[in-house]
Structure 1
């Protein structure tokens, strides 16, 4: 196992696990993660009123029956296996040392609101696209000075006596986070895992977890680049027939040498993936250790159509948003008429029934990409993951605004492990509860361009209208033509009717004149 580099100073504003100050033997054995804030050299910035070091209180409400174990996985009752005391921040302060601000706020005292707008990546200017790609590549090639990834279980660390962590780049930190939340539970030894458990998918926490993931990713890019106005772009894939973002100007086209690889004209062709070999880890009974595992793979559209026969349509999205219940039944992949399950892709977006034979909506995009993005644990290796999940989050936002659900609609108990309202999201530090993100994005400091202006996507220069819109326009045109034909036919009929009437009238007048002339001639003959 690789050890982290020594002597690197922590930056106090980034917000993810595991923070470097908390991976020492002392911190792990004491189970305390309350770093000193650089502003006043006190734990959690207590002297400045920013926060305090407090006991972690986890929810004790029941989980669902999908995970029949207890005390075997480090993610259970997160984060108690590693830490039972962490910083609890006051007011708008946030961060593992309370040195930063809550989402949507900025300033020394975190009192200034800073709203951002996430835009369609297809509508970015050439300069904006170039900047976005350069930010991604910088994150991929910059070692995080604040965070490391865990490479062993707490048991393997001898209860903290032998720390097992590894350096990771800023981008790959998020690849690892997504792997860690979705990995199989290690029950001890080779070939001894439980794969039917996921702390960030297949259940109610799916949307809140990925919302926090994107917010944190956004913050990391802002700090890395110094661009505090940066907002994650999205890819609106409604009615898409191919991978519109798979070009060298954006996320990379196909390699002419191998359709599974990225074009050499794209910077992403040099990217290496990590945490992508879940079956191998399960056989060995180990965690991903961050070793590079080969190039980024993608072969969009050449997937097994038995898993997903088509990409989502405009109608699929509208049906999904119309479902009034956030989650239903067992709150897993079997849930019927569940907004969450349908959006995640396990419910049919035509019928709303769960346990769908095919994968739809969110899941269908992962299958369609047919490469690194198609396995749950390693999917964040592909930067399209960010664009895709930003749009999924926008659909979640549409549902929240339309239905305005109370907090009580998010399940308090009996959801699969990791997904109850009060469960702390794995593996984030500082801590975030699922239910805290069952709120509008406006309260978190961001919005979506197409929600601010529903016509923006259509009006944008060079953007083709969707298939649904084209069909609607064709139907409208046909209706107008039909009305015109009816009006024209009516007019012609009226004209013929009028002409016929005139003909009859003319004939009558002519007959009348002839009769009158005959009578006059008769009268003249009598007089003579």
Structure 2
């Protein structure tokens, strides 16, 4: 069987790119003493390494590198642990080539599979209950596929431990890891740069697929939350993602009331998911609209202004970039109205919710982060359809971790930052259905849900 063009290119890039640009997470079979001693992450699938006997993949050598001192877990992660890993063929995917690429299913991964993501308030009662119960199951069920790493000081070589984790908390750990400041550079792997939308697209696909693996429901999907059609957190109810009491705790009537925070807040980049001090909150906290600096959600006009920006990203390709679609979507541009907020879009929505969602290190603990980022992904897709000739920035000004051919941390198998560029989301296994409620005018708020049902584009 011939190698897929993507994998042929990827192997070539592994040998040609700067070795400080690759990172990955920890498949459970690759955390054993034997795998670490042999420096090999080529697990068995159906009795053969990387599913070789069934034509799924092969075990390939990865380039060696000389470890730097002190050890830096954000640069060249896999090269500190592995010399070999699985390379999957055709439509096969996963750390052992035992899964299908997004957009395919079936025994030989030949059957196209596309799921439509709805706006969360458009889900039927049955769909909503399935979504919420699946999230809760993921929070309660240990992952059979991954472990998470913790360290109280990554500058000390060998100072780390692997831990069991729930399926949902693996997702939390990945966001915490990627949100850490890259030492010296003061830049994140997944934020404040051109990789922002692509990293979070892969992030959603990852947890979506892991929950499908857990539940057996191959049609499970992450809905989106269109926060432009409400003047409050209309899904902060026990019917959806949990109402809160006067102290910001999720009410006991909600499935999410006892969700504990993992990977608590640490500003120190040398700490990875290490237990925090006793004063940090242990459970989800939300206080929607209670911060006077961020008392409104982004509006329809905010979205329209963002979609009107023609350039995907602009120099210096960070949070100071002007006239940048990516930077405006991420929220580092102040709204052009009297709200006096210093942020907009993604960042404003996070800050409006005030609590666990406000800090990038803890935000993924709150399931609201899923539906919020699904909406951002939809907005990006709407922009991308109107700008088919746009390109990923090719500039030395882009931080090395977010350059086009660098690899998104901490995903395994490896994916470059520009891997999704030019790929229709239908080819990735999903699409978006427009919200059933129309907009009532740019910058204004619509009628409450149920008052109108006509369909309207974003």
* Equivalent residues, number: 415
Q: Which runs of 5+ in 1 are unaligned?
A: 1-15, 59-68, 187-193, 451-455, 460-464, 474-528
CA deviation profile, 1:277-297 (whole Å, cap 9, x unmatched):
214x56xx5321368961110
Relative distance call for 1:437 and 1:249 in structure 2 (3 A) is: same
Q: Contact 2:315 / 2:397 at 8 angstroms: preserved in 1?
A: no
> Aligned-pair distance for 1:164?
1.4
In our comparison, the structure showing a higher alpha carbon Rg is 1
> Aligned-pair distance for 1:440?
2.4
> Aligned-pair distance for 1:270?
1.1
1:180 alignment partner in structure 2: 177
State yes or no: 1:26 paired with 2:34. Answer: yes
> Aligned-pair distance for 1:414?
3.4
1:44 alignment partner in structure 2: 50
State yes or no: 1:126 paired with 2:125. Answer: yes
Q: Contact 2:299 / 2:445 at 8 angstroms: preserved in 1?
A: no
Relative distance call for 1:390 and 1:290 in structure 2 (3 A) is: farther
Runs of 4+ in 1 over 6 A off after TM superposition: 469-473
2:450 alignment partner in structure 1: none
Relative distance call for 1:97 and 1:183 in structure 2 (3 A) is: same
2:437 alignment partner in structure 1: 458
1:433 alignment partner in structure 2: 416
State yes or no: 1:56 paired with 2:46. Answer: no
Q: Contact 1:197 / 1:417 at 8 angstroms: preserved in 2?
A: no
CA deviation profile, 1:46-79 (whole Å, cap 9, x unmatched):
2222111123369xxxxxxxxxx99752221353
Q: Which runs of 5+ in 2 are unaligned?
A: 1-23, 448-458
Relative distance call for 1:33 and 1:367 in structure 2 (3 A) is: same
> Aligned-pair distance for 1:184?
3.4
1:446-525 equivalence runs, <5 A:
446-450=430-434, 456-458=435-437, 465-466=439-440, 468=442
Distance 2:209 2:440 in 1: 32
> Aligned-pair distance for 1:42?
2.1
Q: Contact 1:238 / 1:466 at 8 angstroms: preserved in 2?
A: no
Relative distance call for 1:43 and 1:472 in structure 2 (3 A) is: closer
Relative distance call for 1:466 and 1:244 in structure 2 (3 A) is: farther
> Aligned-pair distance for 1:418?
1.6
Distance 2:240 2:445 in 1: 29
SS of aligned partner of 2:60: strand
1:94 alignment partner in structure 2: 93
Relative distance call for 1:139 and 1:51 in structure 2 (3 A) is: same
1:272 alignment partner in structure 2: 260
> Aligned-pair distance for 1:213?
0.5
Distance 1:343 1:286 in 2: 29
When structure 1 is superposed on structure 2, of 243-252 and 70-79 the one drifting more is 70-79
Q: Contact 2:405 / 2:417 at 8 angstroms: preserved in 1?
A: yes
Distance 1:373 1:88 in 2: 36
Q: Contact 1:208 / 1:434 at 8 angstroms: preserved in 2?
A: yes
Distance 1:471 1:146 in 2: 44
1:392-403 equivalence runs, <5 A:
392-403=376-387
Q: Contact 1:373 / 1:379 at 8 angstroms: preserved in 2?
A: yes
The correspondence for 2:306, drawn from 311, 320, 325, is: 320
CA deviation profile, 1:270-315 (whole Å, cap 9, x unmatched):
1111112214x56xx532136896111011001240xx45321112
TM-score when normalising by structure 1: 0.73
1:303-452 equivalence runs, <5 A:
303-305=291-293, 308=294, 310-348=296-334, 350=336, 358-405=342-389, 408-411=391-394, 413-438=396-421, 439-450=423-434
Q: Which has the higher helix share?
A: 1
1:223 alignment partner in structure 2: 213
Q: Contact 1:239 / 1:311 at 8 angstroms: preserved in 2?
A: no
Relative distance call for 1:97 and 1:310 in structure 2 (3 A) is: same
2:454 alignment partner in structure 1: none
Distance 2:111 2:198 in 1: 24
> Aligned-pair distance for 1:417?
3.2
Q: Contact 1:274 / 1:293 at 8 angstroms: preserved in 2?
A: no
Q: Contact 2:230 / 2:445 at 8 angstroms: preserved in 1?
A: no
1:141 alignment partner in structure 2: 140
2:235 alignment partner in structure 1: 245
SS of aligned partner of 1:21: helix
Relative distance call for 1:163 and 1:373 in structure 2 (3 A) is: closer
Q: RMSD across aligned C-alpha pairs, in angstroms?
A: 2.8
Distance 2:323 2:109 in 1: 41
Distance 1:254 1:467 in 2: 30
